[in-house]
Chains A and B, each alone.
Chain A
């Protein structure tokens, strides 16, 4: 499986935007970039995914570099509830049902 690299931890203040980076230099043409987050004492939850174009949903935005070797998850206004571990995962779009392979993710701390 192609690997991703994320910083171990990041800090943010409430109400400020947060940019969570992810490097995936060995990404293949059929790999989608998925983001999940895991709040304390809960299972992971889906955040967003994309292939080439930037994507927006109610939770976040995903900015994908033109060469697709990196991406950034953007939380537009961090809240205390956004404190979680954020996982960037590559998933082959040609293989239906393939399992997600998690790394260690980035632990985001949000201060009031």
Chain B
């Protein structure tokens, strides 16, 4: 178990640029989640995949955000035309098994700073 891996760990970008983050879940985990966390707040749910299917999207996921999980393995989260309000920690988590209570395993996140 190598854990959930996220890349990059830090990203600084200028307002208006596009950024893409990658998440590698624990192998064979069929469920993958993206969250966003700002300072002093708990993580906020963005979207959820089961295998390659995107099953749920939060209203927080504006049109500028898109997530993919093309082969049911790694996932990418792209933010287009970044805004300063997008500055946050972006967390990825995965879970496996058939049960509804399988724990989520989180990566250590990608910290985005928009200047």
Chain A residues near B (Cβ < 8 Å): 32, 34, 36, 41-46, 49, 85, 87, 91-105
In the complex, residue of chain A having the shortest beta-carbon distance to the beta carbon of B104 = A100
B28 adjacent to chain A (CB < 8 Å): no
Q: Give me the 4 closest cross-chain CB pairs, A-B, nearest first.
A: A43-B106, A102-B42, A46-B103, A96-B100
- Bound CA span A43–B100, Å: 21
A105 and B40 alpha carbons, distance in the complex (Å): 10
B98 at the interface (CB under 8 A from A): yes
Closest to A87 in B: B42
The answer to whether residues A94 and B100 also contact, given A43-B91, A45-B106, A99-B33 and a CB cut-off of 8 A, is: yes
Total count of chain B residues near the partner, CB < 8 A: 28
B2 at the binding interface (Cβ < 8 Å): no
B65 within 8 A of A: no
User: Which residues of chain A have C-beta atoms less than 8 A from B41's C-beta?
Assistant: 104
A49 to B99, CA, bound (A): 13
12 pairs, A vs B, C-beta closer than 8 Å: A32-B101, A43-B4, A44-B104, A45-B105, A49-B101, A85-B42, A96-B99, A97-B31, A97-B100, A99-B56, A102-B42, A103-B42
How far apart sit A105 and B37, CA to CA, in the bound complex (Å)? Answer: 13
Q: B101: which of A87, A93, A102 is its contact (CB, 8 Å)?
A: A93
- B108→A91 contact, CB < 8 A: no
Q: Is the CB of B43 within 8 A of A44?
A: yes
Bound-state Cα–Cα, A42 to B109, Å: 7
B8 to chain A, nearest CB (A): 15
Indicate if B107 sits at the interface (CB-CB under 8 A): yes
| CB-nearest residue of chain B to A36 | B104
Complex CA–CA separation, A54 to B44 (angstroms): 28
Which B residues, 34 to 80, have Cβ-Cβ distances below 8 Å to chain A? 35, 40-45, 48, 50, 55-56
1/0 per position for B9-50, CB-CB distance to A under 8 A? 000000000000000000000010101000011111100101
Question: Which of A85, A93, A97, A104 has the most B CB atoms < 10 Å from its CB?
Answer: A97
